[in-house]
Amino acid sequence: MGIADLLRGVEGQGAFGVWLGRADGTAVFTHEAERTHYSASTMKLPVAMAMLRKVDAGELALDQPVTVHNDFASAAGGRFGVNRAEDEAPATWEKLGSDVPLSWLAREMITRSSNLATNLVLELVGAEAANAVLAEYGKDESVIRRGIDDSPAQQAGISNLMSPAGLAGVLVAVSNDESGQYLRDLLAANEWNGEIPAGVPAGTRVEHKNGWDLRIRHDGGIVRPADADPFVLVVCTTSELADRDAQQLIAAIAAEAWQHRHDLGAVR
């Protein structure tokens, strides 16, 4: 069963987008790849890239102390805090009121997908800087405009959007950045592996960032087979599928890509 067959199997149940291609940015299979979805935690990758740009520029340092707090300026004006009950990464919350290195927050943001850590990093980086990274490499309607759980902004219609093509563009940049090993290692250490990594053989290096919310399940990554060239895969889903079924769909698409890793252009 090809990727197109898998997508036909969920036709009418929501919006599904796929971008599959080589690490040089050449697409070999796309399906509604320009259509944007609510980004969920996929926005954390451009945030990390913007952070590292500021580190390289000397504006930030990975070892600088950051006080952990839960009070942030809203993109719509006013203040907001992260909903602790919906943050599945508890370690950052255990540090409330304490100082931690910026590098520790970056690891929590990427490997555990901590919402609180993300907002602390974004507060230092700025949404404009994170969006600039996405605009540079995404080149579509993907956008970062606010932090996680910014309720006033949500109510004002201010949202973060990501398309498969947009996230793929960022991943291609990560894959080809000579100084990007730090970020690639963080992505490879992602502890939430129910999507793309579940569709390839155990032990395969997958540098990926996923995201999930109500009706949302996305994953995008660089897959590095030991016996073939790396490839980039992004799948975004906004649907009525049960969350586990959405994960299994992404894993099945990854498995199909894996089967064609020696001749990626043969994917259908």
pLDDT digits (tens, 9 = 90+) for 124-145: 999 999 999 999 999 899 999 9
pLDDT digits (tens, 9 = 90+) for 236-249: 999 999 999 999 99
Angle at 144 between CA 143 and CA 150, to 5 degrees: 135
List the CATH code of the domain at 43-159: 3.40.710.10
Angle at 140 between CA 139 and CA 144, to 5 degrees: 95
What does the pLDDT read at residue 178?
87
**pLDDT tens, position by position, for the chain (268 residues)?**
899 999 999 999 999 999 999 999 999 999 999 999 999 999 999 999 999 999 999 999 999 999 999 999 999 999 999 999 999 999 999 999 999 999 999 999 999 999 999 999 999 999 999 999 999 999 899 999 999 999 999 999 999 999 999 999 999 999 999 889 999 999 999 999 999 999 999 999 999 999 999 999 999 999 999 999 999 999 999 999 999 999 999 999 999 999 999 999 999 9
Fold (CATH) for 1-35+163-268: Beta-lactamase (3.40.710)
Positions of CATH 3.40.710.10 in the chain: 1-35+163-268, 43-159
Q: Which of 135, 172, 134, 142 is nearest to 20 (CA)?
A: 172
CA 220 to mean position of chain CA atoms: 6
Residue 108 to residue 91: CA distance in whole angstroms: 8
Residue 158 to residue 160: CA distance in whole angstroms: 7
SS3 102: helix
What does the pLDDT read at residue 57?
97
Phi, psi of 239 (to 5 degrees): -155, 175
Burial 121-134 (b: 16+ CB within 10 A, else e): bbebbebebbbbbb
Q: What is the token pair recorded at 8? A: 């036909």
One-letter-per-residue 3-state SS of 216-268: EEEEEEEEECCCCCCEEEEEEEEECCCHHHHHHHHHHHHHHHHHCCCCHHHCC
User: C-alpha distances in angstroms, 145 versus 21, 38, 123, 152, 198?
Assistant: 28, 12, 12, 12, 31
What does the pLDDT read at residue 10?
98
- Please enumerate in sequence order all residues whose Cβ is within 8 A of that of 157, keeping only pairs 6 or more positions apart, or say none: none
Q: Which pTM does this prediction carry?
A: 0.98
Q: How many CB atoms lie within 10 A of CB 97?
A: 8
